[in-house]
Amino acid sequence: MTTEEIIARGVPEHVGIIMDGNGRWAKNRGLARTAGHKEGLTSAKKIVAAAAKLGIKYVTLYTFSTENWKRAQEEVGFLMNLIRGHLRAEFEFYKKNGIRVSHIGDLAGLPEDVQKEIINAKKDTENFTGTTCILAINYGSRDEIVRGVKKIIESNTKAEDVTEDLITASLDTENAPAVDLLIRTGGEQRLSNFMLWQCAYAEFVFTDTLWPDYNEEEFFKDIEKFQLRNRRFGGVPNQ
């Protein structure tokens, strides 16, 4: 199916991606895990560009979770450097593809220089009108919900005024729509604390492909799978 045919059938507004398998990809090649993360960054750029080509409005990439701090210090340090360097060096990539950078997660829990790079990337791309690439860095959905509840409590909101819309607005994603399609690479079939609230009615696609090997062709096929789903949102069609 051509790009034009995929677009004509309707694409998801928001795609969330759990980019799993970097470490195993490297291990299979006798390389350090860090080599897998570096190659995974290349895949991320390809997929975000492909999403922009299809006119998908939001792509959220699970980049670094609140649980990833448990990994070896060397690997964590490499990931922080990779994030820092990517945000600093890729402005032309964002500009060429009209990509606006956003962030979800506990920003204050990141190193100050990484915080600065995230803030600068958001500011530098805020006027781009294509795909919004949401980077989930130091992100965990439970942590996000706890922080959101604290915001509501601190605003002295009455219990009877708490609604789903209010909770949604208190989360890091704020005005971004709910996730329509959740893709997880690497063979595992779980959410791993990723966008639990936002994925309430997402369609899930799991693939055994390790993230560094995931490409535009497979991404387009996963979009086609989404287009074949019958999304009922708890209702019954034609009733």
Edge-to-edge strands, sheet with 132-139: 100-104, 132-139, 58-65, 14-18, 181-184, 203-206
Which tokens in the block code for residue 197?
Answer: 């609230």
Structure confidence at residue 149 (pLDDT)? 97
CA angle 77, 79, 84 (to 5 degrees): 95
| Mean pLDDT on 184-190 | 98
**Strand, coil or helix: 142:** helix
Residue 73 lies in a domain: yes
pLDDT digit string (tens) for 78-117?
999 999 999 989 999 999 999 999 999 999 999 999 999 9
Q: In this model, does residue 221 exceed pLDDT 80?
A: yes
Q: In this model, does residue 236 exceed pLDDT 80?
A: no
Q: In this model, does residue 47 exceed pLDDT 90?
A: yes
Exactly one of 22, 28, 68, 230 is catalytic; which is it?
Answer: 68
Predicted confidence band of residue 1 (pLDDT cuts 50, 70, 90): confident
Residue 123 lies in a domain: yes
Residue 218 lies in a domain: yes
Residue 239 lies in a domain: no
In this structure, which amino acid lies at residue 120? N
pTM: 0.94
- 3 touches 54 (CB < 8 A): yes
Count the domains in the chain.
Answer: 1
CATH number at residue 121: 3.40.1180.10
Structure confidence at residue 9 (pLDDT)? 94
Predicted confidence band of residue 37 (pLDDT cuts 50, 70, 90): very high
Structure confidence at residue 238 (pLDDT)? 60
Residue 235 lies in a domain: no
Residue 236 lies in a domain: no
Predicted confidence band of residue 175 (pLDDT cuts 50, 70, 90): confident
Respond yes or no: is residue 20 known to be catalytic.
yes
Range of the structural domain that residue 113 is part of: 10-173+181-227
Residue 109 lies in a domain: yes
pLDDT digit string (tens) for 199-213?
999 999 999 999 999
pLDDT digit string (tens) for 118-141?
999 999 999 999 999 999 999 999
Exposure letters 20-37 (e unless 16+ CB within 10 A, then b):
bbbbbbbeeeeeebbbbb
Residue 36 lies in a domain: yes
Exactly one of 20, 172, 180, 222 is catalytic; which is it?
Answer: 20
CA distance 128 to 132: 9
Q: In this model, does residue 14 exceed pLDDT 60?
A: yes
Q: In this model, does residue 239 exceed pLDDT 60?
A: no
Respond yes or no: is residue 68 known to be catalytic.
yes
